[in-house]
Amino acid sequence: MGEIASSSPSVAGGVVYVGSASPHDHILYAFDAAGVTGCSGSPKVCAPLWTTTTGGNLGSPAIAGGVVYVASFGDRLIAYSLPTVADATPPTVTLTTPLEGGMYVLGQVVNANYGCQDDVGGSGLASCVGTNRLEPMGAAHHGPPVRHPHHFGK
């Protein structure tokens, strides 16, 4: 980054936006807010996810509706559409009940107990909802246990 950060940072969607007004650059920077992508060392030093030259000193960025707005002190308001990044890592689902290989009494209702978690910097979970019970197996059921799928998603 340049010598002088001229703006206060703004954060949205896991990205930190900050402007620089060094004598040689007038750049809007975007950094990973989680300090993972492009970051190393202790304390962490991060390379920007992307940059763009604005042509003048910058005010603090404001973010709304997928757009970063920044005032250039040269009498302009500049708007940048935020790039979308696909989250290729699925959420982690932990099923604690029923137990893998667990034994249950015939006709017993076994409630599902589970949790969901997204990676740091992930796009977030839309829901962590699934059916909460497995149907009891009746006396007429012979053979292996019946599996009932649980659906989780982003």
| Nearest-angstrom CA–CA distance, 134 and 148 | 7
| Nearest-angstrom CA–CA distance, 2 and 138 | 71
Among residues 41, 4, 38, which one has the least CA distance to residue 20?
4
Query: Residue 51: how many CB atoms within 10 A of its CB?
Result: 15
For residues 72 and 101, the answer to whether their CB atoms sit within 8 Å is no
Helix (H) or strand (E) holding 37, with range, is none
Which pLDDT band holds residue 93 (cuts at 50, 70, 90)? Answer: confident
Kindly state the tokens that stand for 151.
């659906």
Strands 92-97 and 76-81, by their bridges, are unpaired
pLDDT digit string, tens, across residues 94-111: 888 888 888 888 878 877
pLDDT digit string, tens, across residues 34-49: 888 888 888 888 898 8
Cα–chain center distance at 44: 20
Query: Residue 34: how many CB atoms within 10 A of its CB?
Result: 15
Domains detected in the chain:
10-81 (2.40.10), 86-154 (no CATH)
